[in-house]
Amino acid sequence: MPDGQALVETRAVTKTFGSVQAVRDVSFTVGRGEVIGFLGPNGAGKSTTMKIIAGFLEPTSGEAFVAGYDSRREPIAARRHLGYLPEGAPAYPDMTVADFLDFVSGMRGLSRQETNRRLAELVESIDLAEVWNRRIEALSKGYKRRVGIAQALVHDPDVLILDEPTDGLDPNQKHEMRELIRTLAPTKAIIVSTHILEEVEAICTRAIVIAKGRMMADATPAQLLAQAPHRDPSIPQLVKTTPLEDAFRHITLEQAGV
């Protein structure tokens, strides 16, 4: 892949389900070293867009590329460069964590030596030692999420797409997951869908806000904060909100015409 080329690119991506236009003309790029926070209300089109990039859905129109490969026309080549954590982190419940990740490694084409090395690294970095030999169906929601992260990372991809990666994690685990994303960020392009706005300030270099299927903003966290409506300090807040929450509401409700 030529130096400087975006690792993720969408070009006027649109997706229609019957009479519902879930995604409308979405275009953006993500380069190596960027962590993009993908924000929006429920039903805004975030997961649909991520599935199109990952090659799990075909766009009605437009194109999506991973490491220069068209996700629709060159899906196998694109997926070699992609790690994807979908919503719900599906896995085989009757397999142990060790067996499942070994299976994923084989599906990814890793040699036995590569598999052993990568699994040893993931056990430590994602803190899976305690549940390594447990069946996935017996794990807590937080541990299931961590197993999902591990399967996305097993082949050390250039691109990571993470749909709610901290869902179900306790505060300490959320901190550890954010630290892991920061550690990975310099060598990868990462898209993180989240409802936790503090994560945007904590780990993201840019934020893309989508509402009603349309991109409403593509900005740094500081630039988003600047869009927060002015708050009169003399008027007490009945519901405490942060400036980033105010900006999010302004963009997704007022600007989107909700």
Q: Which domains does the chain have, with CATH numbers?
A: 8-81+157-255 (3.40.50.300), 90-156 (no CATH)
Longest dimension (CA), the chain: 65
Tokens of 190: 């990462």
176 burial class (0-12, 13-18, 19+ CB within 10 angstroms)? middle
Confidence bin at 257 (pLDDT 50/70/90): low
Burial call 100-131: b when 16+ CB within 10 Å, e when fewer:
bbbbbbeebebeeeebeebbeebbebbebeeb
Tokens of 114: 């590569």
- Long-range contacts made by residues 230-239, C-beta under 8 angstroms, separation at least 24? none
pLDDT at 2 over 50: no
The C-alpha atoms of residue 204 and residue 220 are separated, in whole angstroms, by 8
Confidence bin at 231 (pLDDT 50/70/90): low
The C-alpha atoms of residue 142 and residue 15 are separated, in whole angstroms, by 31
Give 189-199 pLDDT, tens digit per residue: 999 998 778 88
Query: Which positions ≥6 away from 138 have C-beta within 8 Å?
Result: none
pLDDT of residue 1: 45
pLDDT at 16 over 50: yes
pTM score? 0.88
Give 143-160 pLDDT, tens digit per residue: 898 899 999 999 999 999
For residues 98-106, give the mean pLDDT.
Answer: 97
The C-alpha atoms of residue 255 and residue 258 are separated, in whole angstroms, by 8
pLDDT of residue 255: 58
